[in-house]
Structure 1
Amino acid sequence: MLRKIRIALAVLFFSAVTLLFLDFTGTATEWFGWTAKIQFLPSLLAANFAVVAGLVLLTLLFGRIYCSVICPLGVLQDVFSHAAGRRKRNRFAYAPAMTLVRAGFLAAFIALAALGLLSVASLVAPYSAYGRIASNFLAPVWALGNNALAALSEAAGGYAFYPAEIWFKGAGVFLAAAATLAVVGVLAWKGGRTYCNTVCPVGTVLGFFAKYSLFKPVIDASKCNSCSLCSRNCKSKCIDYKNHSIDYSRCVACFDCVGVCRKSAISYSPAFAKKAAAKRAEAERAARPEGARAEFSAAKKEPPAVFRKGRRGFFSTLFMLAGGAAADAAETMKVDGGLAPIRARRRPERAFKISPPGSGGIANIADKCTACQLCVSACPSRVLVPSRSLSGFMQPEMTYENGYCRIECVECSKVCPAGAILPISPEEKASTQIGRAVWTASRCIVNADGMQCDNCFRQCPTGAIQMVAKDPKDPKSLKIPTVDVARCIGCGACENLCPARPVAAICVEGNPSHNRI
């Protein structure tokens, strides 16, 4: 029963967190946004000490329930491990803890974070690692399915669904997600929770507290017949059945051992029950006739499940379609009015990155962002993208090739669980200067082509751009833009809608620290 309850809760949490990265309507955030904000590392970075204390207390009471229920990467490992278990059952064996390896990864994580390289350290952080996997591999499949339903709905004369863009977020973050998925998948397929108990810094920290948890799996040696079923089904490889002991720092409270024991020798009980069970076992051994041996019943080895090629083929085809659709969407040439092709827009070189409203500036992003990609997935204008630079790799920055930052939109500030982007209202956003527009005369079509253009002036939502005569002595001369920096908020409407190619004639230069205007 405990195992079934754990699986049901894990499915609910896993589905809720995954929907945050898949949903493009903003609905999932309203319902399930809290599941991201109770993740351990984001809560710690956001200084949400109530959540951190709650998770530590949960661990002190029930063991590493967080790792088996709340953490999405932990549940993903269980999915891989379960799939491998269908081919070969009873496949695990007790292994000593790799304490030095765990301590080394934790020390490296803390050192990198202290040196301002949190984006590098977060490559092994569980929540952000899963976020990159979900946004790069699951989101395209979700969008592809939605687009198929939209096509069917339109053919039937309905509009219950609308097409969504299948967005390739960048080679760097895609490769990082692919590498993480490969490492986690292989380790889980071969060794269950190996990643959790060697690499994951959160698992190491919670493992320390789990050693002192009130409730934990307890082996009653008086009932145990040393069949080793518990050890061979323990994905954490932490049950030493020969000595009737469990390494609770590695136990993730999955309750698989409780469910598989045929003698009811393992129970999820208060810690003091372990001492009582040990006393009973000692008393029985003393009363047992000399030379008597415990009954040993070897578990029958079940044949491996038949691997269903049809199912594998289905999912392989599905991922190929998603990847192909994403590639097609990335390579599709934009056209003007559906007729004349437009030259591709190239991202301008900026002295400082543009950080989203609510972040306060580049420093806060660097200090607190775990590069989970949740804000990138939530941005409806595709303005937030993973950074390609080594400093702040995969952390969000703003660029305006795909759209601009609308004043009324504050979606990224709603979803950030780590405090890298704080909640901000549209009114506050309208008075926050994240950057300022800079006009380059040589690229402007007024100078380059001798044609009048006032697109930036017409699109500026704050009235920061005015048109003045190119020749002050000739009022009838072509007009060029001038920027009132005091009114510009850096929304990027001018840059996005500038017709100059390949680089816009008017571009936003980021403010290292945001200003109020």
Structure 2
Amino acid sequence: MLRRIRLIVALVFFILITLLFLDFTGTLHGWFGWLAKIQFLPAVLALNVGVILLWVVLTLVFGRVYCSVICPLGVFQDVVSWFSGRRKKKKYRFSYSPAVSWLRYGVLGVFIIAMIAGIGSVVALLAPYSSYGRIVSNLFAPVYQWGNNVLAYFAERSDSYAFYETSVWLKSLPTFIIAAGTFVVLVVLAWRNGRTYCNTICPIGTVLGFFSRYSLFRPEIDAEKCTNCSLCSRKCKAACINYKDHRIDYSRCVTCMDCIDSCKHGAISYKYRFGKKEIKETSETGNTNNARRSFLTGMGLVLVSSAVKAQEKKVDGGLAVILDKKVPARMTPLVPPGAKGLRNMRTHCTGCQLCVSVCPNQVLRPSTKLETLMQPEMSYERGYCRPECTKCSEVCPAGAILKLTPADKSATQIGHAVWVEKNCVPLRDKVACGNCARHCPTGAITMVPSDADDADSLKIPVVNVERCIGCGACENLCPARPFSAIYVEGHEQHRTI
């Protein structure tokens, strides 16, 4: 029974977190965005003391329930391992192996040093939640979006607007390669050995494993009842049960309850370590402890169904889609309003791609620079950062992009526009334009005569850098190809105007 409850709750959490990365409309984030914020590493980076204490206390009481229920990467490995078991038709296929402590703590040491030094690319590479987010955003999301576009195609021909078409494109080749590589490694390890990644590489698993050594409730083996049949050991995907010595390595045990379910002699029970009270659970008895059931049932309260209704995409009426824009060479990268600046982004971002997935204007994409690899940067080839949109600040779980209102965003200067004379259409093609000034939401661009002595000469833009907020409307809507005649240069530290 305990195992069944754990499986149901874990599956619900896993599906909802996956949908957060797939839902490009941002609809689900209003309901289930908190699932990203209760992930362990984002909570640490956001200094969310309440969530950190919650997981430490729950681990000290119940063991590594975070790893078996909440962590999407852990549940993903369980899914892969389950398919592997069904294909091989082997119910018991694991075996006990000693902990590789030097590797576990070595990776944790590198992870901590990278966090302190602000090397976000290393942190993003090792963080389990971020790794799963990249896999979904880069490998699963395109398939999901293509499916949506098929539905939009048929809906349009039925005069329905329940779906709308979205563009599918490769946002970052390095991030895609890393996501694909991570996916392959995880699938191979989980297919062959279950939770190998969790107990040898994952730094979060190592940290929680330290606390789970002292958990109040945990599975224990009754040596008098044990017949040394090894079924528990061969069912343990964490490879932490030494059935010969009747010992369990609690730093690696993820409290999955598989061993209790597999024992046919009632020799394993989930019990209070300092007393005689125990929770016996076998396929024959099926008894459960009410306290444990209440805890897991409480976690299952998130089983609230939400109808995902796609919203009509906002576009500028009458404007043609501008294609084949090239990225200008910015001296300073652009990061979203709410990030405060480059330093805050580098030290807090986990590279999970949640903000990239939810950006409705396709402004955000993962960085390809080594020092900020996989962290979000802004570019305006496909859209611009609309002042009324605050989606990225609403979904960020790690404090890399702080939540702000549209009014605050409109007063935040993330960069300023720079005019490139040689690309400007009035001077290059001798035709009137003015797109940049016409669409500037802050009125920071004014058109003036190109010839100061001739008031009727073609007009060119002049930028008031004190009013410009760096939204990129001018850069995106500029008709010059392949490079815009006006582009946004970023600020290392954001300013309030």
| TM-score using structure 2 length | 0.90
> How far off its partner does 1:152 sit?
2.7
Counterpart Cα distance in 1 of 2:471 and 2:325: 18
Matches for 1:24-173 after TM superposition, within 5 Å: 24-86=24-86, 87=88, 88-173=90-175
SS in structure 2 of the partner of residue 267 of structure 1: strand
- Structure 2 letter corresponding to 1:72: P
Number of equivalenced pairs: 456
Identical columns (%): 58
Counterpart Cα distance in 1 of 2:201 and 2:394: 30
Residue 494 of structure 2 is aligned to residue 494 of structure 1? no
In the alignment, what sits opposite 1:329?
A: none
* Aligned partners of 2:93 and 2:235 also within 8 Å: yes
* Aligned partners of 1:119 and 1:369 also within 8 Å: no
> How far off its partner does 1:170 sit?
1.5
Kindly provide the CA deviation profile for residues 115-139 of structure 1, in whole angstroms up to 9, marking residues without a partner as x: 2212222211100000000111111
SS in structure 1 of the partner of residue 199 of structure 2: coil
* Aligned partners of 2:22 and 2:357 also within 8 Å: yes
In the alignment, what sits opposite 2:438?
A: 458
Hey, which bits of structure 1, 4+ residues long, moved more than 4 A?
Answer: 273-277
In the alignment, what sits opposite 2:356?
A: 376
Residue 489 of structure 2 is aligned to residue 505 of structure 1? no
> How far off its partner does 1:82 sit?
0.7
Matches for 1:187-266 after TM superposition, within 5 Å: 187-266=189-268
SS in structure 2 of the partner of residue 195 of structure 1: helix
> How far off its partner does 1:274 sit?
7.9
In the alignment, what sits opposite 1:316?
A: none
> How far off its partner does 1:276 sit?
9.9
- Structure 2 letter corresponding to 1:42: P
User: Structure 1 residues 105-114 or 225-234, which shifts more?
Assistant: 105-114
Residue 352 of structure 2 is aligned to residue 352 of structure 1? no
Matches for 1:318-397 after TM superposition, within 5 Å: 344-397=324-377
Counterpart Cα distance in 1 of 2:157 and 2:5: 43
SS in structure 1 of the partner of residue 97 of structure 2: coil
Question: Which runs of 5 or more residues in structure 1 are unaligned?
Answer: 278-335
> How far off its partner does 1:250 sit?
0.2
SS in structure 1 of the partner of residue 370 of structure 2: coil
Residue 410 of structure 2 is aligned to residue 443 of structure 1? no
Greater C-alpha radius of gyration: 1
Kindly provide the CA deviation profile for residues 364-391 of structure 1, in whole angstroms up to 9, marking residues without a partner as x: 0000001000000010000011111112
Question: Which runs of 5 or more residues in structure 2 are unaligned?
Answer: 280-318
* Aligned partners of 2:350 and 2:375 also within 8 Å: yes
In the alignment, what sits opposite 2:290?
A: none
* Aligned partners of 1:218 and 1:274 also within 8 Å: no
Kindly provide the CA deviation profile for residues 482-501 of structure 1, in whole angstroms up to 9, marking residues without a partner as x: 00111100000000000111
SS in structure 2 of the partner of residue 419 of structure 1: coil
Counterpart Cα distance in 2 of 1:421 and 1:175: 25
Counterpart Cα distance in 1 of 2:27 and 2:255: 32
Kindly provide the CA deviation profile for residues 63-86 of structure 1, in whole angstroms up to 9, marking residues without a partner as x: 000000000000000011111111
Kindly provide the CA deviation profile for residues 45-102 of structure 1, in whole angstroms up to 9, marking residues without a partner as x: 0000110010000100000000000000000000111111111331111100111110
Residue 382 of structure 2 is aligned to residue 402 of structure 1? yes
- Structure 1 letter corresponding to 2:454: D
> How far off its partner does 1:150 sit?
2.1
* Change in 2 beyond 3 A, CA 1:237/1:47: same
* Aligned partners of 1:149 and 1:161 also within 8 Å: yes
**Match for 1:476 among 433, 443, 456?**
456
> How far off its partner does 1:337 sit?
5.7
In the alignment, what sits opposite 1:267?
A: 269
- Structure 2 letter corresponding to 1:189: W
Counterpart Cα distance in 2 of 1:275 and 1:8: 26
User: Structure 1 residues 90-99 or 157-166, which shifts more?
Assistant: 157-166
* Aligned partners of 2:120 and 2:373 also within 8 Å: no
Kindly provide the CA deviation profile for residues 290-344 of structure 1, in whole angstroms up to 9, marking residues without a partner as x: xxxxxxxxxxxxxxxxxxxxxxxxxxxxxxxxxxxxxxxxxxxxxx969xxx772
SS in structure 2 of the partner of residue 230 of structure 1: helix
> How far off its partner does 1:262 sit?
0.5
> How far off its partner does 1:168 sit?
2.0
Counterpart Cα distance in 1 of 2:151 and 2:454: 58
> How far off its partner does 1:4 sit?
0.5
Counterpart Cα distance in 2 of 1:123 and 1:276: 40
Counterpart Cα distance in 2 of 1:85 and 1:337: 53
- Structure 2 letter corresponding to 1:399: S
> How far off its partner does 1:275 sit?
11
* Aligned partners of 1:434 and 1:515 also within 8 Å: yes
Counterpart Cα distance in 2 of 1:406 and 1:337: 18
